[in-house]
Amino acid sequence: MLVLPAELTHAHAVASCRMLVQGLASHADAAVVADASALTHFDSSALAVLLECRREALAMGKTLSISRMPARLRELATLYGVAQLLPAAP
């Protein structure tokens, strides 16, 4: 399981993305879950990071789903038309 940081804004996006992609690469399972429960301070950069992680996962033959995504982030994903690309974890 990947764990998102508490803060994921434009200032932290590159470092967070790098960290998550490294975790994704070392994840043995084909179905990867990103836990967003710690995420408390974020902007739309969090969506960009998650979408990049999804692209990387697909390139590795894996899937990515999100657990406990904050409601406000889910609303942003819906507003930007990308919610279906970031499915909730079962």
* Each residue's pLDDT tens digit, 2-59: 999 999 999 999 999 999 999 999 999 999 999 999 999 999 999 999 999 999 999 9
Q: What is the mean pLDDT of residues 73-88?
A: 97
- CA dist 60 and 67 (Å) reads 20
pLDDT of residue 56: 97
CATH of 2-85, one of 3.20.20.450, 1.10.10.10, 3.30.750.24, 3.40.50.720: 3.30.750.24
Sign of the C-alpha dihedral, residues 40, 74, 85, 89? positive
pLDDT confidence band for 90 (50 / 70 / 90): confident
* Per-domain residue ranges of the chain: 2-85
pLDDT of residue 58: 97
- Where do the H-state alpha helices sit in 1-90? 13-26, 45-59, 71-79
